[in-house]
């Protein structure tokens, strides 16, 4: 009976020592602490990011009132983003929103700038010809000079105003595919030259 008490007491003491060592171990603490949290590791105020092509041309510039990067998901949230697509045409597209996020390129996805809340995309030629796109959200793929949305969209230019249930836009080729749904058809109103 005394031997059993000694073994039990020794086991408890060894367990307590091992537990104490593990709790005080800085390596164990750093490995076990906050691994699943996605706290921001970087933020910038009133900043601008410029990305250049392999040929040295400016592809786009992205500015925002605030950039906040989250390392675990490798995405950056944006407050009041302004994206200007430059190198794939003579006239840039300027795309603005109240909120957005930059999802960096990875082996699993292309680089995407997702924008929402009062999104507008605008392009104007020197002769006054323009096109403006408005929507609640827009996903922009800067490498392709392409954007899309499945939200209601309003498009206006010098000749027409169009509403649609969604949009696929190739900014480089200046082609637009308007989407419809069961509840929203594509509707275009042509504007005569006397009413502009």
- With cut-offs at 50, 70 and 90, classify the pLDDT of residue 196: low
Of 6-10, 171-175, 185-189, minimum mean pLDDT range: 6-10
- How far apart are the two ends of the chain, measured CA to CA in Å? 102
Q: Which one, of 87, 179, 195, lies nearest residue 135 by Cα?
A: 179
Q: Annotate 122-145 with DSSP letters as a single string.
A: EEE-TTS-EEEEEEEEEEEETTTT
pLDDT of residue 192: 78
Q: Which of the listed CATH numbers 2.60.120.10, 2.60.450.10, 2.60.120.650, 2.60.120.260 matches domain 42-195?
A: 2.60.450.10
Judge whether residue 19 has pLDDT over 80.
no
Question: Measured between alpha carbons, how far is residue 158 from residues 33, 68, 192 in Å?
Answer: 59, 38, 9
Every domain of the chain and the residues it spans = 2-32, 42-195
Residue 185 CA to its chain's centroid (Å): 28
**Radius of gyration from C-alpha coordinates of the chain:** 27
> In angstroms, rounded to a whole number, what is the distance separating the alpha carbons of residues 131 and 133?
7
HSE value, Cβ hemisphere, 13 Å, CA-based, for 35: 7
| Averaged pLDDT score across all residues of the chain | 85
Q: Burial of 155 by CB count in 10 Å (0-12 exposed, 13-18 middle, 19+ buried)?
A: buried
pLDDT digits (tens, 9 = 90+) for 22-56: 555 444 444 445 556 878 888 899 999 999 888 88
Q: Are 90 and 107 in contact (CB under 8 A)?
A: no
pLDDT of residue 86: 84
pLDDT digits (tens, 9 = 90+) for 90-143: 789 999 999 999 998 888 888 999 999 999 999 998 888 899 999 999 999 998
Q: Which one, of 191, 176, 188, lies nearest residue 93 by Cα?
A: 176
DSSP state of 195: G
* Both structure tokens of 160: 């027409």
CB atoms within 10 A of CB 112: 18
């Amino acid at each position: 009976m005394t031997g059993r008490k000694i073994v039990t007491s020794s086991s408890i003491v060894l367990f307590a020592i091992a537990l104490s060592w593990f709790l005080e171990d800085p390596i164990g603490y750093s490995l076990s602490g906050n691994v699943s949290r996605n706290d921001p590791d970087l933020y910038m105020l009133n900043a601008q990011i410029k990305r250049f092509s392999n040929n040295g041309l400016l592809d786009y510039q992205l500015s925002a009132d605030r950039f906040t990067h989250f390392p675990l998901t490798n995405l950056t949230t944006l407050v009041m983003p302004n994206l200007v697509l430059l190198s794939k045409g003579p006239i840039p597209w300027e795309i603005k929103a109240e909120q957005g996020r930059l999802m960096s390129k990875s082996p699993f996805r292309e680089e995407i700038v997702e924008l929402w809340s009062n999104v507008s995309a605008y392009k104007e030629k020197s002769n006054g010809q323009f096109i403006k796109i408005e929507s609640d959200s827009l996903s922009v793929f800067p490498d392709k000079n392409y954007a899309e949305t499945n939200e209601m969209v309003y498009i206006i230019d010098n000749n027409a105003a169009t509403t649609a249930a969604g949009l696929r836009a190739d900014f480089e080729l200046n082609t637009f595919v308007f989407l419809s749904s069961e509840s929203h058809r594509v509707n275009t109103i042509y504007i005569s030259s006397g009413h502009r």
